[in-house]
C-alpha cells in the first residue's frame, strides 16, 4: 500500500498533537484519552476488528450530554487541520531533484505538444493572449466554514510554510510551533457555525475577500509565469493588454428563488465592488509611489508631470486622488443615491492610462527591470479586475418575467399574456421591441413582484456596462423567454448591450435547447440586436436531479453539439456557460478533465463556468493554490481549442442512447415513482435538519413539496452526509449491467479508452463510489428509519454494490481507485475520523427527532458541527 508522504504525515501529526494539547487544556487529560479511544476504535473497526468496533460503540454510547459537542468538535477540527496540511502539501517547497507538480508542468508541456503539432510560436502566442476564461463566483447554501475560521486556517497554512525549511534553528522551530498552537487554540475556542444566516451582501463581501486575500496576488504571478513560459517556448511575450482570466459573480445578483436578493441589494453589491476595487488599487498605488522615486522619464511622462523632480510620483499622486474620490463616493452612494460623482473613475482606461504611461517611460529610459516589477503586476490587475472588481450577473426565473408581462398586459388591456401561445408571445414581443414608443406609462400601478422585476432592470440601466455580466434566465424553454427580458430591459432604460442568456436545466429543456436557439437566431430583428456572441447556459445541477447523472451528462453533451452546429450554420459565435457544481452529482469534478471532455468545437478559446461556495475556497482561497488551478484552466481551454477531442463514433453514440435510456428508467423509477422514496429520504438523511442550518441566504427549497421542490445543492448535501451518495451514481448500475447483459462490455471498454467524455464520467463515478460507504448508510437506516421503509434502504445499498461491481468489471481493477493509490490512502486516513462523526451524527439525529422543538441548544449545535465536520472530511458538500 502506498504511504503518505513523510512530510505530510509529520505535519498532520504535529497539528493533531497541538489540537490534542488544546483540548486537554480545556477539558482535561481524561477527556482527551476518551477522544483517543474513539479514534483507535474507529481505526481498528475499519481494519475489521470486532473488538475495535465494540470499543468504539461503547465509548460513544457512554458519552455524557455535555460531551457530545466537544467530541464532535474534536473530530471536525482534526479533519479541517488535515485539509490544511494537504492543501499546503500541494504547493510546498520542492527540492531541485523533485519533479514539479502537474499544475506547473501543464502549460509548458502543452506548448511543446502544440508546437510539435505544427502550430507556430506566433500563432500560439496570439491564441494564448486571446483566451477568454470567465470564472463566475457564486454563493453556496452549504458553505459551512465561517470566514473567521477560514482566516485562521490560512494563517496555519502560512506557518506550515514557515516550518518547511531545513536550516531553521531550534529556537525558530519552537517559535513557529508556538504560533501554530496559539492559532489552533484560537480556532478551537471559536464557534464553527454562524448563529445567523448570511445576507446576500455578506456573501458578496465573502467573494470580495477571496479576491483581496488570494486572487489579487495569484493573477499577476500566474501571468508573469505564463509570460516566461511563452518566451521560453515561442520567443513571444504576453501582451500587456491580455487578460486571459476574468471573474464575474452571482453573489448579490442571483435572485432565482431567493427573495432576499432585491434590486436594492444588487445596487449595494455593485457599489461595494467599486469601493473594494478602489481600495485595492489605492494600496497598489501607494506602494508604487514609494518605489518609483527615480527621475529619468520619457518626454511623454514629463509632459504629464511637468517640471517635477519625481515625475512618476506626481502622476501617481493624481491617480491616487481620483481613487480616493471614487472610494469615498462609492461608500456614500450606498445610502445616498444622489451622492456627487464628480471626478470619480468610471472608465477602466482612466485607471490604466497613468499606469501605462509610467511603464512605457521606464522602458524608454532603460529601466525595464523596474517596470516589470510591481508596476507590471498592477497593470495586469487593472486589465483583469478593472474598476468594478467582478462583473455582476443577474439571474431570475423565466416565470417571473412572464408574470410581469402578464401583469403589464392586464393593466394595459392588451390580453392574457399567460394564456398566449409561443407564436402569439413572439409576435407581441417583437412588435414592442420594434416600436419606438414606450410600452409602460410612468405611473403604471402594477403588482409588487412586477415592480421588483422592473426595479432590477432599472438598476441595470443605471450601472456602467463594464460592471455587469449577463442576464441569466433560469428554467428557460423558449425564444419568448429571451425576448421578454430584452423588452423589460428596454422599457427600463437599458441602452447598452447586455447578453441575455437562456439557462436550459431540465432534461426536456436540454433536448429542446437547439431548436429554441435556432428559432431565436432565425428572427432577423433579434440577430440585429445581438451584440457579441450568443451565450447559452447549460444547467448541470437540476438536470442531474431531474434525470440522474448519466442521462443528464449525455443530454448536456448533445445539447452542446446541437448549439455548436446551429450557431456555426448561422455565422454566430457561441459562448457556452457551464453551470457546474462542486460535486459529481451536480456536474462537478476535476476542471481540467471536464473541459477536455467537452464536444469538439464547444470550447473555442472561450469558456465560462460557475465556481461555487466551498469549491471557491478549496480552489482559490490561497494564492499558490489559486495559481495552480488557474493554470489548469488556461491549459485545458487552450488544448480543447487547438487539440479538440475526437467526435464520438456512431456506435458510441448509439450506446450512450441505450445507457441513458436504461439509466433514466432506473433513476426515475426510484426517485419519482417509488411511493415510499420521499419518506425514506427524509428519515434516512438529515435533510429536514439542514433546513435549520444558518448557511446561505437562499432558502433550501423553491417551494413546498417533495424532492422536486428541493434545490439541487441540499439534495446532494443530504445524501453526502450519510455516505450513500445516491444522486451521483443512481441509474449507472442498471445501465452498465444491462449493457453487459447485451454483450456490450467490449464496446464500453473501447469508449473508455478512446472517448474523453466517457472516460471522465467513469472516472468521476469511480471516485464517488470510493467515497460511498454502504455500512454507514445502513447504520443511519437502522437508527432513524421506520422498519417498513428499511427495505428500500437495503435495495438502494444493493444497487450501490452493483454499481461498484460494474465499474470494476469495466476498468479491470481489483478495487476502486486501484490505479490511484494515493487517493485511496487519503480516503482511508480520513475515514478514521469520519466514522466517529457519522456515528455521533446518527445518535444526535435520533435524539433531536425525539426531542422535537424542545431539543437543547447544545444538542442542536453538536448536530450542526457533525454536519460541518463530515463536509470537511469529504471535501465537498453540495
Q: What is the pLDDT of residue 585?
A: 38
Q: Which residue has the higher pLDDT, 877 or 417?
A: 417
What 8-state DSSP symbol labels residue 141?
Answer: T
Cα separations in angstroms, 469 against 65, 277, 292, 393, 523: 51, 17, 35, 5, 24
- Report the chain's C-alpha Rg in angstroms: 28
Model confidence at 820, pLDDT cuts 50, 70, 90, reads confident
Model confidence at 673, pLDDT cuts 50, 70, 90, reads very high
Select from 640, 661, 638, 684 the least CA-distant residue to 792. Answer: 684
pLDDT, tens digit (0-9, with 9 covering 90-100), for 367-400: 999 999 999 999 999 999 999 999 999 999 999 9
- Residues 672-707 as b/e (b if ≥16 CB within 10 A, e otherwise) read eeeeebbbbbbbbbbbebbeebebbbbbbebeeeee
What 8-state DSSP symbol labels residue 515?
Answer: H
Beta bridge partners of residue 775, listed in sequence order:
none
Q: Which residue has the higher pLDDT, 427 or 154?
A: 427
Q: What is the pLDDT of residue 594?
A: 85
pLDDT, tens digit (0-9, with 9 covering 90-100), for 233-256: 999 999 999 999 999 999 999 998
Model confidence at 547, pLDDT cuts 50, 70, 90, reads very high
Q: What is the pLDDT of residue 878?
A: 38
Per the rule left: phi > 0, alpha: psi between -120 and 50, beta: everything else, 696 is beta
In percent, the amount of the chain with pLDDT more than 70 equals 94
Beta bridge partners of residue 391, listed in sequence order:
248
Q: What distance in Å separates the CA atoms of residue 135 and residue 384, rounded to the nearest whole number?
A: 12
What 8-state DSSP symbol labels residue 648?
Answer: P
Q: What is the pLDDT of residue 443?
A: 86
Model confidence at 59, pLDDT cuts 50, 70, 90, reads confident
Backbone dihedral angles phi then psi of residue 433, each to the nearest 5 degrees = -70, -30
Residue 859 has pLDDT above 90, yes or no: no
307 class by beta-carbon count within 10 Å (0-12 exposed, 13-18 middle, 19+ buried): exposed
Q: What is the pLDDT of residue 873?
A: 86
Q: What distance in Å separates the CA atoms of residue 711 and residue 716, rounded to the nearest whole number?
A: 9
In percent, the amount of the chain with pLDDT more than 90 equals 70
Q: What distance in Å separates the CA atoms of residue 380 and residue 364, rounded to the nearest whole number?
A: 19
Q: What distance in Å separates the CA atoms of residue 632 and residue 628, rounded to the nearest whole number?
A: 6
Which of 43, 545, 578, 619 is labelled catalytic?
545
Cα separations in angstroms, 213 against 144, 276, 818: 19, 12, 38
Q: Are strands 391-397 and 534-539 parallel, antiparallel or unpaired?
A: unpaired
CA 498 to chain CA centroid, nearest Å: 23
Mean pLDDT of 459-469: 96
Residue 668 has pLDDT above 90, yes or no: yes
Select from 493, 477, 462, 490 the least CA-distant residue to 392. Answer: 462
Q: Which residue has the higher pLDDT, 782 or 3?
A: 782
Q: What is the pLDDT of residue 42?
A: 85
Mean pLDDT of 444-469: 96
Cβ 8 vs Cβ 797: under 8 Å: no
545 is catalytic: yes
What 8-state DSSP symbol labels residue 702?
Answer: S
Q: What is the pLDDT of residue 821?
A: 84
Model confidence at 3, pLDDT cuts 50, 70, 90, reads low
Residue 877 has pLDDT above 50, yes or no: no
Model confidence at 711, pLDDT cuts 50, 70, 90, reads low
Least confident of 274-288, 335-349, 577-591: 577-591
Q: What is the pLDDT of residue 832?
A: 86
User: Does an H or E element contain 606, and which?
Assistant: strand 606-612
pLDDT, tens digit (0-9, with 9 covering 90-100), for 306-318: 989 999 999 999 9
Q: Are strands 499-504 and 468-474 parallel, antiparallel or unpaired?
A: parallel
Least confident of 86-95, 322-331, 479-488, 566-575: 86-95
Which of 77, 89, 140, 771 is labelled catalytic?
140
Other CB atoms within a 10 A radius of the CB of residue 403 amount to: 17
Q: What is the pLDDT of residue 698?
A: 55
Residue 149 has pLDDT above 90, yes or no: no
Residue 230 has pLDDT above 70, yes or no: yes
First to last CA, the chain: 31
205 is catalytic: no
Q: What distance in Å separates the CA atoms of residue 291 and residue 17, rounded to the nearest whole number?
A: 44
Model confidence at 83, pLDDT cuts 50, 70, 90, reads confident
Cα separations in angstroms, 729 against 506, 587, 761: 18, 12, 11
Select from 132, 587, 110, 637 the least CA-distant residue to 102. Answer: 110
Q: What distance in Å separates the CA atoms of residue 857 and residue 678, rounded to the nearest whole number?
A: 28
Per the rule left: phi > 0, alpha: psi between -120 and 50, beta: everything else, 298 is beta
What the chain holds in terms of domains, given with CATH numbers, is: 267-388 (1.20.1440.90), 650-819 (no CATH)
What residue ranges in 520-602 does DSSP mark as E strands? 534-539, 574-579
Q: What distance in Å separates the CA atoms of residue 172 and residue 170, rounded to the nearest whole number?
A: 5
Q: What is the pLDDT of residue 86?
A: 85
Backbone dihedral angles phi then psi of residue 58, each to the nearest 5 degrees = -65, -40
Q: What distance in Å separates the CA atoms of residue 323 and residue 276, rounded to the nearest whole number?
A: 11
Q: What distance in Å separates the CA atoms of residue 506 and residue 508, rounded to the nearest whole number?
A: 5
Model confidence at 142, pLDDT cuts 50, 70, 90, reads very low
- Set of cell numbers at residue 330: 462609492
User: What SS3 class is residue 666?
Assistant: helix
Q: What distance in Å separates the CA atoms of residue 320 and residue 333, rounded to the nearest whole number?
A: 20
Torsion of Cα atoms, 130 then 505 then 645 then 581, to 10°: 80
Mean pLDDT of 309-334: 96
Helices 790-811 and 774-784, packing angle to 10 deg: 180
Model confidence at 709, pLDDT cuts 50, 70, 90, reads low
The angle at the Cα of 27, spanning 26 to 32, to the nearest 5 degrees, equals: 120
pLDDT, tens digit (0-9, with 9 covering 90-100), for 190-203: 887 766 778 899 89
Q: Which residue intervals of 345-434 are DSSP H helices?
A: 348-364, 368-370, 376-385, 398-411, 422-434
Select from 163, 183, 180, 181 the least CA-distant residue to 172. Answer: 163
Residue 293 has pLDDT above 80, yes or no: yes
Residue 703 has pLDDT above 90, yes or no: no
Residue that the C-alpha cell 445501465 belongs to: 735
Mean pLDDT of 658-667: 98
Q: Which long-range contacts (CB under 8 A, 24 or more apart) does 814-817 make?
A: 816/766, 816/769, 816/770, 817/766, 817/767, 817/770
Q: What is the pLDDT of residue 845?
A: 92
What 8-state DSSP symbol labels residue 788?
Answer: G
Residue 809 has pLDDT above 50, yes or no: yes
Cβ 732 vs Cβ 662: under 8 Å: no
629 class by beta-carbon count within 10 Å (0-12 exposed, 13-18 middle, 19+ buried): buried
Residue that the C-alpha cell 508522504 belongs to: 5
Query: What pTM did the predictor assign?
Result: 0.92
Torsion of Cα atoms, 541 then 543 then 547 then 551, to 10°: -100
Amino acid at each position: 500500500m502506498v504511504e503518505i508522504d513523510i512530510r505530510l504525515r509529520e505535519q498532520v501529526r504535529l497539528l493533531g498533537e497541538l489540537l490534542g494539547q488544546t483540548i486537554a487544556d480545556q477539558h482535561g487529560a481524561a477527556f482527551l484519552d476518551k477522544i483517543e479511544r474513539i479514534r483507535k476504535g474507529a481505526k481498528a473497526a475499519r481494519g475489521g476488528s470486532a473488538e475495535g468496533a465494540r470499543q468504539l460503540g461503547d465509548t460513544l454510547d457512554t458519552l455524557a450530554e455535555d460531551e457530545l459537542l466537544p467530541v464532535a468538535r474534536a473530530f471536525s477540527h482534526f479533519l479541517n487541520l488535515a485539509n490544511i496540511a494537504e492543501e499546503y502539501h500541494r504547493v510546498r517547497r520542492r527540492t531541485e531533484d523533485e519533479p514539479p507538480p502537474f499544475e506547473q508542468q501543464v502549460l509548458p508541456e502543452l506548448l511543446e505538444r502544440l508546437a510539435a503539432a505544427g502550430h507556430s510560436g506566433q500563432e500560439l502566442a496570439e491564441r494564448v493572449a486571446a483566451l477568454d476564461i470567465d470564472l463566475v463566483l457564486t454563493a453556496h447554501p452549504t458553505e459551512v466554514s465561517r470566514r473567521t475560521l477560514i482566516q485562521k486556517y490560512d494563517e496555519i497554512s502560512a506557518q506550515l510554510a514557515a516550518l518547511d525549511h531545513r536550516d531553521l534553528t531550534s529556537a525558530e522551530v519552537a517559535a513557529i510551533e508556538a504560533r501554530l498552537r496559539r492559532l489552533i487554540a484560537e480556532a478551537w475556542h471559536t464557534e464553527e457555525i454562524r448563529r445567523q444566516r448570511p445576507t446576500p451582501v455578506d456573501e458578496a463581501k465573502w467573494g470580495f475577500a477571496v479576491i483581496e486575500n488570494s486572487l489579487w496576488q495569484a493573477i499577476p504571478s500566474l501571468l508573469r509565469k505564463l509570460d516566461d513560459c511563452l518566451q521560453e517556448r515561442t520567443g513571444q511575450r504576453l501582451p500587456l493588454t491580455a487578460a486571459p482570466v476574468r471573474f464575474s459573480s452571482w453573489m448579490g445578483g442571483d435572485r432565482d428563488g431567493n427573495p432576499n436578493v432585491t434590486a436594492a441589494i444588487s445596487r449595494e453589491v455593485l457599489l461595494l465592488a467599486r469601493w473594494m476595487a478602489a481600495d485595492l488599487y489605492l494600496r497598489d498605488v501607494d506602494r508604487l509611489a514609494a518605489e518609483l522615486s527615480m527621475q529619468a522619464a520619457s518626454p511623454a511622462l514629463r509632459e504629464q508631470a511637468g517640471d517635477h523632480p519625481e515625475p512618476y510620483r506626481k502622476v501617481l499622486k493624481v491617480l491616487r486622488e481620483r481613487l480616493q474620490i471614487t472610494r469615498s463616493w462609492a461608500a456614500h452612494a450606498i445610502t445616498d443615491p444622489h451622492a456627487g460623482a464628480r471626478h470619480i473613475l468610471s472608465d477602466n482606461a482612466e485607471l490604466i492610462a497613468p499606469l501605462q504611461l509610467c511603464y512605457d517611460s521606464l522602458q524608454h529610459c532603460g529601466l525595464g527591470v523596474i517596470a516589470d516589477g510591481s508596476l507590471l503586476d498592477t497593470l495586469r490587475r487593472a486589465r483583469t479586475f478593472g474598476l468594478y472588481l467582478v462583473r455582476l450577473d443577474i439571474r431570475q426565473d423565466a416565470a417571473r418575467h412572464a408574470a410581469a408581462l402578464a401583469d403589464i398586459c392586464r393593466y394595459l388591456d392588451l390580453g392574457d399574456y399567460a394564456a398566449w401561445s409561443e407564436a402569439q408571445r413572439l409576435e407581441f414581443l417583437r412588435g414592442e421591441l420594434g416600436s419606438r414608443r414606450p410600452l409602460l406609462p410612468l405611473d403604471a400601478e402594477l403588482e409588487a413582484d412586477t415592480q421588483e422585476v422592473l426595479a432590477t432592470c432599472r438598476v441595470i440601466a443605471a450601472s456602467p456596462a463594464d460592471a455587469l455580466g449577463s442576464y441569466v434566465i433560469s428554467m428557460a424553454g423558449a425564444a419568448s423567454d429571451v425576448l421578454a427580458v430584452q423588452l423589460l430591459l428596454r422599457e427600463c432604460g437599458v441602452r447598452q448591450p447586455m447578453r441575455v442568456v437562456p439557462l436550459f436545466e431540465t432534461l426536456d429543456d436540454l433536448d429542446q435547447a437547439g431548436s429554441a436557439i435556432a428559432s431565436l437566431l432565425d428572427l432577423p430583428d433579434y440577430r440585429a440586436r445581438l451584440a457579441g456572441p450568443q451565450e447559452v447556459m447549460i444547467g448541470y445541477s437540476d438536470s442531474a436531479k431531474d434525470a440522474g447523472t448519466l442521462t443528464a451528462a449525455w443530454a448536456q453533451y448533445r445539447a452542446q453539439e446541437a448549439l455548436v452546429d446551429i450557431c456555426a450554420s448561422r455565422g454566430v459565435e457561441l459562448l457556452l456557460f457551464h453551470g457546474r457544481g462542486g460535486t459529481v452529482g451536480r456536474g462537478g469534478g476535476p476542471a481540467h478533465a471536464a473541459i477536455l471532455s467537452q464536444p469538439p468545437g464547444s470550447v473555442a478559446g472561450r469558456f465560462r463556468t460557475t465556481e461555487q461556495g466551498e469549491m471557491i475556497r478549496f480552489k482559490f482561497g490561497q494564492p499558490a493554490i489559486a495559481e495552480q488551478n488557474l493554470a489548469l484552466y488556461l491549459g485545458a481551454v487552450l488544448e480543447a481549442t487547438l487539440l479538440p477531442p475526437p467526435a464520438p463514433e456512431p456506435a458510441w453514440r448509439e450506446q450512450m442512447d441505450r445507457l441513458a435510456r436504461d439509466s433514466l428508467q432506473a433513476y426515475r423509477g426510484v426517485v419519482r415513482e417509488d411511493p415510499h422514496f420521499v419518506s425514506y429520504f427524509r428519515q434516512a438523511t438529515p435533510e429536514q435538519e439542514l433546513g435549520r442550518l444558518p448557511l446561505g441566504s437562499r432558502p433550501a427549497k423553491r417551494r413546498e413539496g417533495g424532492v422536486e421542490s428541493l434545490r439541487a445543492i441540499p439534495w446532494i448535501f443530504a445524501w453526502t452526509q450519510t455516505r450513500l451518495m445516491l444522486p451521483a451514481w443512481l441509474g449507472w448500475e442498471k445501465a452498465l449491467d444491462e449493457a453487459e447483459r447485451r454483450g456490450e462490455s467490449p464496446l464500453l471498454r473501447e469508449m473508455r479508452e478512446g472517448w474523453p467524455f466517457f472516460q471522465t464520467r467513469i472516472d468521476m463515478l469511480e471516485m464517488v463510489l470510493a467515497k460511498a460507504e454502504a455500512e454507514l448508510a445502513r447504520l443511519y437506516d437502522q437508527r432513524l428509519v421506520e422498519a417498513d421503509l428499511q427495505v428500500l434502504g437495503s435495495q438502494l445499498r444493493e444497487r450501490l454494490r452493483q454499481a461498484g461491481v460494474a465499474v470494476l468489471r469495466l476498468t479491470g481493477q481489483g478495487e476502486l481507485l486501484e490505479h490511484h493509490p494515493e487517493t485511496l490512502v487519503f480516503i482511508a486516513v480520513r475515514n478514521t475520523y469520519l466514522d466517529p462523526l457519522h456515528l455521533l451524527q446518527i445518535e444526535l439525529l435520533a435524539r433531536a427527532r425525539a426531542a422535537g422543538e424542545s431539543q437543547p441548544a447544545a444538542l442542536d449545535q453538536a448536530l450542526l458541527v457533525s454536519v460541518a465536520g463530515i463536509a470537511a472530511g469529504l471535501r465537498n458538500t453540495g
